[in-house]
Amino acid sequence: MNDTAPVIIRRVSRAKAGRKSNGAWKVAFADFTLAMMAFFMVLWILEVSTVKERTKVASYMRTQSILGGNSHPFDAMNSPYPVDLGGTPSPVEMAVSVHEPQQTFVAGMSAHLQIPEGKREPSAGVGEKLNSLISGQYDSPPDLSLLAQAFQNFAEVNQAEANLVIEAMPAGLRVIIRDSENRQMFQRGQVEMTPYFEDLLLKLAPVFSRIHNRLLISGHTDGTAFNSSQYSNWELSGDRALQARQVLAAGGMPVQRVAQVSAFAETMLLNKAQPGASENRRIEILILTSKAEQQLKDMFSSENKSNELNKAADAALQNQPVLRTDYQD
């Protein structure tokens, strides 16, 4: 008789063995670590940010919505300041600054105006004194061409080529600030400017402060009718133009630069084939030449006897019919 006890071998499949420790805790721990990192990041931002910065962020959160419009909420192109961990200044502080403009504003202008004759070095015309827009009146075609190039460079640096368009006109330079498919200057039916375009105008204000030409600011809407009997596209476009003037003034542009603020509603569509197109919703700033400014003064000034309105009134008075009773004794 064999007294040896039987040996029982129990085989456990790997699938059953894995159930005891499937690693789910690692996912939960990773989520917890990510949440704590985000929490401490928020605490750090609150610690290093100023009151103005926090106010700016709060304003952005109140006016922006990921549910409205066609913009993608995570598209970096929708923000004028992508995240930069290289130690650059605070984007909000840069946006609200109303002091000296950044050197990237008008690099092209300084390159044309300040490079010494005969020199072709890339570094020529670059520096604190040279890399800035010269203050003065811009009237001649070469001056306006250089000014247009400066605005083009500004648009490229700020990735705003689709929102900032420059056109030369006989009366001066036409600066068009308009909506695009991914960026809206105003929410539907609203007059409060969205943060991106507010920042854009704040950065443009120091440029306009150095241009001594008078400005005409006009507001334009698309062809969509406003659903109100007391408030139409006329009031909306006018209020938006006034909002643009206020933002430019807050950015440092002298208020006396503005000669006129006008409302055009939907009467001057850029895209007449599509009245509701985004490019029709815009703010236009016309930089007047001295000649155009004088014509504007002659048109509306009552002190100037040689203006066209006074001439027409005098001609109408002289052409009045004469009655016979005027010659009776």
pLDDT tens by residue, 133-147: 678 899 999 999 999
Residue 9 has pLDDT above 70, yes or no: yes
The mean pLDDT of 19-38, rounded to a whole number, is 83
Q: What local confidence, expressed as pLDDT, does residue 80 receive?
A: 47
Distance separating alpha carbons of residues 244 and 191, to the nearest angstrom: 10
Q: Indicate the pLDDT class of residue 125, thresholds 50, 70 and 90.
A: very low
Q: Please tell me the predicted confidence (pLDDT) of residue 220.
A: 95
CB burial of 150-165 (b: ≥16 within 10 Å; e: otherwise) equals: bbebbbebbebebbbb
Q: What is the CATH number of domain 50-64+89-312?
A: 3.30.1330.60
Percent of the chain with pLDDT over 70: 67
Report, as an integer, the average pLDDT of 192-221: 93
List the 172-178 sheet strands across, edge first: 164-169, 172-178, 282-288, 215-220, 258-263
Q: How confident is the model at residue 13 (pLDDT cuts 50, 70, 90)?
A: low
d(CA 229, CA 231): 6
Confidence at residue 90, expressed as pLDDT on a 0 to 100 scale: 44
Q: Which of 111, 113, 134 is nearest to 207 (CA)?
A: 134
Q: Are the C-beta atoms of 159 and 76 separated by less than 8 Å?
A: no
pLDDT tens-digit series, residues 36-73:
999 998 888 888 888 777 777 776 666 555 555 444 55
Q: How far apart are CA 262 and CA 228, in angstroms?
A: 21
Domain extent listing, the chain: 50-64+89-312
C-alpha–C-alpha distance, residues 196 and 163, integer Å: 11
In the chain, what are the helix, strand and coil shares in percent, each to the nearest 5?
45, 10, 45
pLDDT at position 15, please? Answer: 55
Q: In this predicted structure, what is the pLDDT of residue 85?
A: 41
Confidence of residue 305 (pLDDT cuts 50, 70, 90): low
Q: What is the pLDDT, as a whole number, of residue 151?
A: 92
Task: Report, as an integer, the average pLDDT of 4-24.
Answer: 66
* Global confidence as pTM: 0.56
Residue 300 pLDDT: 77
Residue 138: count of CB within 10 angstroms of its CB: 24
Tally the C-alpha atoms within 13 A of residue 298's C-alpha that lie toward its C-beta. Answer: 11
Residue 3 has pLDDT above 70, yes or no: no
- Mean local confidence (pLDDT), 115-135: 45
